[in-house]
Chains A and B, each alone.
Chain A
Amino acid sequence: MNKKRSLILREACNLIVPAVLLYALYVQFHGDYGPGGGFQAGVIFAAAIILYALVYGRKKTQKIFPASLVRYLISIGLLLYAGVGVASLFMGGNYLDYNVLAHNPQHGQHLGIFLIELGVGITVAAVMIMIFYMLDEYAD
């Protein structure tokens, strides 16, 4: 059941996972300048975590990302996205009007897109990890 994986797998995992996590963050924040954005970054992040879980087992992964935390993250990402829209309602513009979010429309647009994509990335990564946890529990 929980026998250790071979040395090659473990070492390869140790090398790959940090690189993939870094790439996920790169894709998340460079969505304005190249292909990327929230959804892609979320999936890449989740892929790294799932790789770790495949090699080291679900129990160890759940010490870092417990299932309850992942559940909260799903809701929090969506609330961040909708919350940005509501914030722009309170600041005088229409829903999701980024121009009013900061002192200057250009900064407002930048801030708006940044927060929105962050919300999307968090939710997507959390959902993918949650799906993996659920299906893995089924296999037991």
Chain B
Amino acid sequence: MFADYYNYWVAIILMMLGFYIVISDANLIKKIIGLSIFQTSVFILFISMSKVEGGTAPILAEGITTYSNPLPHVLILTAIVVSVATTALGLAIIARIYREYGTVDENIIHDQDEEDEDNNEATG
């Protein structure tokens, strides 16, 4: 069972690794890396299911009858663009957070935010 479905196992293991990094790590940049791994595992899942046994690249040519499925590739291309945009946006926000807070550790930022809110409420 492991040998037959190894592509699904790879996708699931990567997905859980990426998800764990997002949840558990306190460094904001590492969260973005975890998110990237998480999304990459989904791409692997999609693309690995597009291969047809005995099929070649989906470009019309003489004498070939079986082609691999090109549709998941198109879907994943779009999803990769979305993932790149998200990563770029996340890193840009982190660059500004570093400028404002002086740190990229989520716990320290949370403490500074709570102090801010308390000061706000005190002065009105």
Interface residues of A (CB under 8 A from B): 33-34, 37, 39, 124, 131, 134-135, 138
Task: List 15 A-B pairs, Cβ < 8 Å.
Answer: A33-B59, A34-B59, A37-B77, A39-B77, A39-B80, A39-B81, A124-B81, A131-B88, A131-B92, A134-B92, A135-B91, A135-B92, A135-B95, A138-B95, A138-B99
Interface residues of B in 23-71 (CB under 8 A from A): 59
Residues of A within 8 A of B99 (CB): 138
Interface residues of B (CB under 8 A from A): 59, 77, 80-81, 88, 91-92, 95, 99
A-B contacts, CB under 8 A, total: 15
Give the secondary structure class of B's interface: helix
Residues of A within 8 A of B91 (CB): 135
In whole Å, how far is B64's beta carbon from the nearest beta carbon of chain A? 15
Give the secondary structure class of A's interface: helix
Chain B, residue nearest A32 (CB): B59
How many angstroms from the CA of A134 to the CA of B80 in the assembled complex? Answer: 22
In whole Å, how far is A83's beta carbon from the nearest beta carbon of chain B? 20
Contacts A34-B59, A124-B81 supplied; 5 other A-B pairs, CB < 8 Å: A37-B77, A131-B92, A134-B92, A135-B92, A135-B95
In whole Å, how far is A75's beta carbon from the nearest beta carbon of chain B? 16
Residues of A within 8 A of B81 (CB): 39, 124
